[in-house]
Structure 1
């Protein structure tokens, strides 16, 4: 098994109770809203917010997490990430393209070598992480 890959779906965690449950549900719904915004704005991520929402829902309300994993559009991406730690080639290209566009925007707006270098270094580190994740052939594939 490749480094960073997961053996299977995460073990079920008992649902949180009381204030923790409310906070986790709030975080999950906030991340869903941010993911929806990211689906429209090309410079804002979508998948990372969906992953955090699935994590929060998995601890607050496992049924909501199950609904996200079964979603016809985003479910396969979540399942691949949670079960195998993999990112599809199309998602990798979108992430790298979005980061490149973001870096160009930072460079153009701030016109500051230090800000551009810091943003570029951070984005390069994230790009390396993304590129070292295993790939899957298609959203429905393994």
Structure 2
């Protein structure tokens, strides 16, 4: 029972963050919905079913589950947001270690992302 509640809590938190991502630019929606569906499959099957049946986000969740596919539009958007983050971290006051860390980490994330198949 406690484990099921923990899965539901994770699913709820992820769903809430995904909903915020719809409203806030720069906060992704789909990754949080992927986590919500994953956690829902373990503790809240009806939530998972609703997410999979959603007309907008359901196909993305299905493509990710079946082939780890990411749509090209999402790749471009994520890459643009990462590039703008790098530009801002170098133009605004920030610790030097953070600038270096992000300059190394974000291109690796972009490389990983672009190596995923497309939906």
TM-score computed with the length of structure 2 as normaliser:
0.91
Alpha-carbon separation, structure 1, partners of 2:17 and 2:52: 18
Indicate if the aligned counterparts of 1:43 and 1:101 stay in contact, CA closer than 8 A: no
Q: Is there any run of 5+ residues in structure 1 with no aligned partner, and where? A: 1-17, 137-142
Q: Deviations over 1:25-50 (max 9, x none)?
A: 11111111111112222222211111
Q: Deviations over 1:75-130 (max 9, x none)?
A: 11111001111001011111111212222232233344432121121111111110
Matches within 5 A, 1:1-142: 18-136=1-119
Poorly superposed stretches of 4+, deviation over 6 Å: none
Q: Is there any run of 5+ residues in structure 2 with no aligned partner, and where? A: none
Distance 1:129-1:106 versus aligned 2 partners, 3 A rule: same
User: 2:92 aligns to what SS in structure 1?
Assistant: helix
Alpha-carbon separation, structure 2, partners of 1:44 and 1:109: 20
Number of residue equivalences: 119
